[in-house]
Amino acid sequence: MSKIFNQKRQKHLRKELRGTLVKSEAALWKKLRGSQIGFKFRRQHGIWPYIVDFYCPRVKLVVEIDGYTHIDEEDYKEDLKREKYLRSLDLNIKRYSSGFVLKNIKETCFDIYGKCVELKGDSEYTTPPLRVRPSSERRGQI
């Protein structure tokens, strides 16, 4: 089987996409980066011929954020084709609308964490180890 993850020919595009995250992707990445929910995620990860928004290799989970570009019939058909291909690679997919992520970032993180735990096969569901960073005005206060 040829290499399908992060092919060199996609490197420039992946880098460009990482630099131009939409608000919902940036908000979610802020919570997922650095294994903050206990699972390592990669952003704008290449799975030839596609680039997915977020990918957790440990549990083979693809997380996609659907914005306004996913609302017409043609884009919907392309999403179905893409999803079918990713599932053929034994990958799991979670989709969220951009608006939902922005309004419900904490719930989105809990949902992603729950899916990761489920896929990992842990029988006990525990609270994710989300790190809470103090706001600038609260730093240094007890």
Q: Which class for 113: exposed (0-12), middle (13-18), buried (19 or more C-beta within 10 A)?
A: buried
Residue 123 in this model has a pLDDT that exceeds 70:
no
11-25, pLDDT tens digit by residue? 555 556 556 678 999
pTM recorded for the entire structure: 0.76
Q: Domains in the chain, please, with CATH? A: 8-120 (3.40.960.10)
Distances (CA, A) of 105 to 11, 29, 72, 116: 29, 10, 25, 16
